[in-house]
Chains A and B, each alone.
Chain A
């Protein structure tokens, strides 16, 4: 808890808040240039003038640009997105309701990706240059490059429609844990495939780097068994970069969840945004987008903190780098 660390913390927090504020502004600016009249879009072409006026007032459309910007900003900053025109429910409620489903999906994918990636990476690093290593390296690239929606379709085809091992669509009965897990397996795997490959490569590379260091060679010279070297000592160091990748990947993971949620007809923030964009229900889409950005910025911030705790040099080097 040095002063330098506190300063680092404050700077990172400031950067996170600034990014969040910028994201809100960007969203506001984007919606200002939507072609067509917003009221006609939302209420249909045959709306009466009275309804128009009432709606404009409710949405704050009768105010000046700056006022609207401030209104949007101040409301978005505290998570108030008004009421959904279609279902008359608070938008915040709608968005927060589906968020856990997407987070479960993302965490399950991380678990699968991290677990299998770690395993495959270690296997490859233990015999560098072997046929197995070459094969795993190739498989990892193939995993990374196959788009998640292609994987999702083929998993659905094979394991749900073909073999009938897993349920086809939905998120399962909310009161039945087993059913929910069964509904989670395929979507999470589809989302995880790329990460398995990515983490496997990362683990392999960082494990090989650690294994070539002096203190590990020293241990070998003393006759410590290889398995023990890797399991007890090397892996601990090699795992550090994974924390970073997993944290930074959160946003991308949630982004790709859109495809998986649509293909498996699974409720979640991605499919919510997609559906509200398709029905031109912009306020709900905005709220969903901002929530995702919020999750992403928070995850990045958390990664920075965890990193600086693992490796104090990061906080100290901030001044030297002068930027993020």
Chain B
């Protein structure tokens, strides 16, 4: 807990970290409380279509007269849920694969690297487009596809960390003392490599949000009538000549969410690992 507080203080101390933290808290509050405070996001009222912002409809209404504040809040919530789910799943699977590759060495290691390379040889959006189109759209398919896209990154980092750790003498000592491999992995490898992986995960959250919104924008992600920031922007885009409000509300929310989580992620990286501070990593 002490370390957690130190990191939080460090994030707060930097201006960009402070901005990020505030934005993240605001977005979280919007996603959690917004749906509770507002009308039914799927309630259609055609008479009230394309209204501008007002007290009853804070962000206006869309082409079917649905309340955009409620829909944007629900969309933000689903963006956050999806990004957290995807990042945790790819963190988990990527770490297993990466640690396995690092410990196995030799041919297995090489093979794993080639697989990572092949998956990352496809531009992410394009590969996701292909897989979703082939296997159908849907919530779980979306999660599955985006998770696959992010596994190689975590895998590579986990592997590199494992390699660095494997040659250290305390690992040899534990091995000589007869610690079984699973205990060795659980007690020594996981705690020692998890730091950079969590930082990577936090930096990937905005990326996942963007990918999800992009796929939903193309009609390949979250399906209507469920709201996602991507589908909201798309709906707004279709009716641009009638009203700008639907696009603006969702686009600004999306941009603020990605901006906030990026600033927060970078501040977290700098706070947790001062060696990396100020450097930009690819």
Q: Which A residues are within 8 Å of any B CB, using their own CB?
A: 15, 18-20, 22-23, 25-27, 30-31, 33-35, 134, 137-138, 141-142, 144-147, 149-150, 153-154, 157, 161, 201-202, 205, 244-245, 248, 251-252, 254-256, 258-259, 262-263, 270, 273-274, 277-278, 282, 285, 289, 292-293, 296-297, 323-324
Interface of B, secondary structure class, is: helix
18 contacts between A and B (CB under 8 A): A15-B117, A20-B121, A26-B122, A27-B130, A35-B136, A134-B15, A145-B259, A149-B214, A150-B233, A150-B251, A157-B244, A161-B240, A251-B122, A255-B123, A255-B125, A256-B123, A259-B217, A282-B134
Residues in B with CB closer than 8 Å to A33 are: 134-135
Q: Which of B122, B129, B135, B279 contacts A258 (CB 8 A)?
A: B129
Residues in A with CB closer than 8 Å to B157 are: none
Is the beta-carbon distance between B280 and A201 smaller than 8 angstroms? yes
Residues in A with CB closer than 8 Å to B117 are: 15, 18-19, 22, 324
Is the beta-carbon distance between A30 and B213 smaller than 8 angstroms? no
With contact pairs A23-B121, A252-B123, A296-B123 given, residues A146 and B214 touching in the complex (Cβ less than 8 Å): no
Is the beta-carbon distance between A258 and B121 smaller than 8 angstroms? no
With contact pairs A34-B135, A202-B280, A205-B279 given, residues A293 and B255 touching in the complex (Cβ less than 8 Å): no
**B238-282 interface code vs A (CB 8 A; 1 in, 0 out):** 001100100100010011001100110010000000000011101
Is the beta-carbon distance between B129 and A273 smaller than 8 angstroms? yes
With contact pairs A259-B217, A277-B129 given, residues A146 and B258 touching in the complex (Cβ less than 8 Å): yes
Residues in B with CB closer than 8 Å to A138 are: 16, 19
**Between A and B, how many residue pairs show CB distances below 8 Å?**
137
Interface size counted on chain B using CB atoms at 8 A: 47
B180-194 residues at the A interface, CB under 8 angstroms: none
Residues in A with CB closer than 8 Å to B122 are: 23, 26, 251, 289, 292-293, 296
Residues in A with CB closer than 8 Å to B255 are: 142, 145-147, 150
Is the beta-carbon distance between A141 and B263 smaller than 8 angstroms? yes
* B118 close to A (CB within 8 Å): yes
With both beta carbons as reference points, the residue of chain B lying nearest to A205 in the complex is identified as: B280
Cα separation A33 to B136 with both chains bound (whole Å): 12
Taking the closest CB of chain A, its distance from the CB of B124, in whole angstroms, is 6
Is the beta-carbon distance between A273 and B126 smaller than 8 angstroms? yes
Q: Which of B133, B135, B259 contacts A141 (CB 8 A)?
A: B259
Is the beta-carbon distance between A245 and B124 smaller than 8 angstroms? no
B46-64 residues at the A interface, CB under 8 angstroms: none
Is the beta-carbon distance between B251 and A154 smaller than 8 angstroms? yes
Is the beta-carbon distance between A254 and B123 smaller than 8 angstroms? yes
Taking the closest CB of chain B, its distance from the CB of A65, in whole angstroms, is 17
Residues in A with CB closer than 8 Å to B279 are: 205
Cα separation A278 to B145 with both chains bound (whole Å): 18
Taking the closest CB of chain A, its distance from the CB of B181, in whole angstroms, is 23
With both beta carbons as reference points, the residue of chain A lying nearest to B159 in the complex is identified as: A323
With contact pairs A19-B118, A147-B213, A153-B233 given, residues A285 and B123 touching in the complex (Cβ less than 8 Å): no
* B144 close to A (CB within 8 Å): no
Q: Which of A15, A30, A147 contacts B210 (CB 8 A)?
A: A147
Cα separation A134 to B16 with both chains bound (whole Å): 9
Q: Which of A20, A34, A145, A161 contacts B258 (CB 8 A)?
A: A145
Residues in A with CB closer than 8 Å to B278 are: 205
Residues in A with CB closer than 8 Å to B214 are: 147, 149, 259
* B237 close to A (CB within 8 Å): yes
With contact pairs A149-B214, A255-B125, A274-B129 given, residues A144 and B262 touching in the complex (Cβ less than 8 Å): yes
